Amino acid sequence: MGVGLHGETPEEIVRIEVEADGPKEDGEQAPAGSGEEDAQTQIPKKRKIRKIYAEVWKYFTRGPTQEDGSYLATCKFCAVKYLQGQQRGTSSMRNHIDKSCKKFPRNKRDALQKMLQAAKTEDKRAFCLVLDNASSNDACIKELFASTSIKDDLPIEGKLFHQRCGCHILNLIVQDGLDQLDDVIKEIRNTMKYIRHSQSRMEKFKIACSQAKIPFKKPAWDVPTRWNSTYLMLELALELKPAICRYPNFDKRYILKISDLQWEAIKALAADLKVFYGATLKLSGTKYPTLNLFFTEFCEVFIIIKRMATSPYPFIVKMGAQMLNKFDKYWTIGNSLLAIATVLDPRCKIDVIEYYMTELCPQACGSFINNLRNCMKEMFNEYVEAYADGPSDQNQDRLSMRKKQGASTSNMISNSRAALKDFLKEKKNSDAPKSELDEYLGTDRDHASVDEEFDILTWWKMQVPKYPILSRLARDILAVPISTVASESAFNMSGRVLSPSRSNLSDESIEALLCAQDWLRASIIENGQLFGEPLWNIDEGFGYEG
């Protein structure tokens, strides 16, 4: 008697089939009457108990039975065969699934393994896995390919499967650059803290703002773990610069240590950080922009970093060099998928890729474009094979050819005439566009501006009749998320930190407060602003220093 794979009892896996009884027993007669009485007459039934089987057979297929009663059981995952028979149990099969089969998902409760199992079906085909930049994730992907069969089901052998979070890449680049500016940023931070320290100093600062004829705003400093707050602090410092420069006239204890040259450098730095700030907002918005936006944003960031290398301020040059090293480390990782998504944007296609590559790396532009075309053709050909029954142009040609061949047979056309007809058909097809991809790339770009709002998913949905196979490819590629983080956490490098005053709250209370805070910010974020007021006022108590 078999035992379930996961310890189920035979009673739990037994299958009972209820069937209608066949021939009637001796002495039994059909009931008399007709009409409503006959309709209510119940046919006697009996239960027929099927044989108990082990659940391990869910993972094996049974071959034909031989003369001696033996048969082969084949593993559905790795195709290993086991000789079975009436005198053989299923223990060897269970041991194979539990210990030996490398392609069997071990932990079904794990969300990732469930996704991999669902990827076996056509509607839930796995395409890409977006992770943050932890080094352990690289080892995880290698182990995933080694222990499962997911790689066999991925396009182009899983070369584009592992993608890194775009917001994390930007954060790493900016954070490495800001580490070079501790002295300048520290002076701004100390000034903000000094003025904010007491109410009397705040009153003196109000007078300084009045004399400078600028609106009064409370000085505030940044949260070190969130670089966007550093950018906002620098912007606020530049706005309050006239009052800060006048403040020593009202407070003799305060000594301004920021020179005019440093103020100019801070202004240039804030202008550069604004590009990173805007890119991070765009890539982590609540509307979750599609992948086609990321390539151009990354290229614009690269242009800014190269411009920083020619800055007249030495510390900005040093910052740009550090950021460029980090950028080069991640630029070659995953940029093929980003470029493909840009090509699938009808406003961009190959032209935008060629423009940016000429600006950034002209010596490698030609090879990059050729590799990009080859990669797209390889992916498209795999999709044609996977969806060969779809109404693509090539499949329609095959169907029409078979129909004409059938008609030629029915009309008793000679073999030589049929061969001539096939030759002319192939000759005609060789002169025509070979695929939907070639046709798409050969048409003119959409005249809509790249900066305008454009619903690319709707555009491809409308193009399904024209590009049935290519639209499937576009659907899968554009479904890849740019970021793995929500917009309000996009700038946070180490998570939210509780202040001592809120550390005594229960976990449920903290969760409720953060949830309510996200709801209140939702309308602000939808309008394109990350925060309705400075970060340090909203997050007072969460990462607030003071």
Domain ranges of the chain: 10-99, 105-164, 169-372, 392-478, 496-538
Answer yes or no: is pLDDT of 502 > 70. Answer: no
Higher pLDDT, 9 or 509: 509
Radius of gyration of the chain (CA): 34
The pLDDT value recorded for residue 367 is: 86
The pLDDT value recorded for residue 15 is: 42
The pLDDT value recorded for residue 545 is: 37
- 11 pLDDT band (50/70/90 cuts)? very low
The angle subtended at Cα 220 by Cα 216 and Cα 225, nearest 5°, is 155
Is the alpha carbon torsion for 286, 287, 291, 292 positive or negative? negative
The four Cα atoms 203, 205, 208, 212 give a dihedral, to 10 degrees, of -120
Strands (E), 159-205: 162-164
Average of per-residue pLDDT across 336-361: 86
Average of per-residue pLDDT across 320-331: 81
Q: What is the DSSP letter of 424?
A: H
Rounded to 5 degrees, φ, ψ at 129 are -125, 115
Cα 519 from Cα 214, distance rounded (Å):
33
- 536 pLDDT band (50/70/90 cuts)? very low
CA 518 to chain centre: 22
Cα 318 from Cα 176, distance rounded (Å):
11
Cα 491 from Cα 482, distance rounded (Å):
15
The pLDDT value recorded for residue 153 is: 60
pTM over the 0.75 mark: no
Residues 6+ apart with CB under 8 A from 2: 10, 13, 52, 53, 54, 55, 56, 89, 90
- 319 pLDDT band (50/70/90 cuts)? confident
Answer yes or no: is pLDDT of 57 > 60. Answer: yes
User: What CA–CA distances, in Å, run from 156 to 135, 375, 394?
Assistant: 24, 8, 21
Cα 167 from Cα 142, distance rounded (Å):
23
The pLDDT value recorded for residue 422 is: 65
CA 483 to chain centre: 7
**Residue 339 · residue 438 · CB < 8 Å:** no
User: What CA–CA distances, in Å, run from 184 to 40, 239, 269, 315?
Assistant: 93, 17, 11, 9
Average of per-residue pLDDT across 360-369: 84
